[in-house]
Amino acid sequence: MAANITYREALNQALREELQNNPDVFIIGEEVAQYGGAYKVTEGLYKEFGPERVVDTPISEEGIAGCGIGAAMLGLRPVVEMMTVNFTLLAMDQIVNNAAKLRYMSGGQFQIPAVIRTPQSLGLQLGAQHSQSLEAWYAHVPGLKVIAPATPADAKGLLKSSIRDNNPIIFLENEMLYGTKGEVPEGELFIPIGKADVKRQGKDITLISYSMMLIQAMKAADTLAKEGIDVEVLDLRTLRPLDAESILASVKKTHKAVIAEADWKSCGMGAEVTSIILSGAFDYLDAPVVRVALAEVPMPYSKPLEKAAIPTADDIAAAVRKIMGKG
């Protein structure tokens, strides 16, 4: 059996189930308790589990991250909610220099089973400082795992797996996805970290994406199918570690690849995926790898300019047509 629920509800289910499963799990962050979280992901959990398991904090991102990391060092399993990925920059020292490195530097004496949940978004007219996709920053750091699910089922299954993992995890939720719906199996659901998923089978070209851009990729694939182009859509889901095996298997099958990403092209996730393809499937390629990404500018506030900066399904479809010789 499966239920058609929102991305937000799927996350809430995962948190509730893990709080019920393990008394060492707790949630910490700004407005996560009585208010239910800035995006209502933790709604109802304070009432059910109380102030020791769902903990409101002062507005101090470095302090919130530090509390979570310290608790993890002592054997608890904190789920740290940062109000937006932009605010995680204030905690970069804690995340990069402590969370990511303490297990290695202690020779395994300390584990850091901490999940840092944070939304990021584009397209909501929040201005340059609040409209950023920073996944590549964190995916660059050894010691961190970085996850960016696109569907409610993946959000639930990967969050539950993350909470049970013994490593620090950056769990990226896109604000544009919170209200989207999808089928989520009832009961326990665990999705392995580090495993991509073929969301649509195809034979003509591989379209690789993740998070909010996967929605645009699927729309593009639907449009292209009407034109006789059979697109395979691969959802990365986990950005560190990347599932190189699935990337290469799909490209070797289709011999062509387009990467659609919701971050800047320079030094972005698409660059790493392209490197994997060129290193492991170069001889299989019938065309250059093409990337569709954000415009190389701080995000404009103006709605028309913001719209021009963000890739769409039409942009992705155009890139595919060009490779297929139909553009």
Of residues 112, 106, 76, the one with CA closest to residue 94: 112
287, 256 contact by CB (below 8 A) = yes
Instruction: Return d(Cα 226, Cα 247) in angstroms, integer.
Output: 25
288 prior amide bond cis, ω within 30: no
Distance CA 80, CA 110 (A): 18
66 closest CA partner among 93, 94, 25, 85: 94
Q: Where are the alpha helices (DSSP H) in the chain?
A: 7-21, 45-49, 61-73, 92, 102-105, 135-139, 152-164, 212-225, 244-254, 269-281, 303-309, 313-323
Of residues 296, 289, 309, 305, the one with CA closest to residue 268? 296
Please tell me what DSSP assigns to residue 193: T
Q: Are 83 and 38 in contact (CB under 8 A)?
A: yes
Catalytic residues, which ones?
Answer: 61, 130
Helix or strand run (H / E) with residue 130: none
Phi/psi of residue 217, nearest 5 degrees:
-65, -40
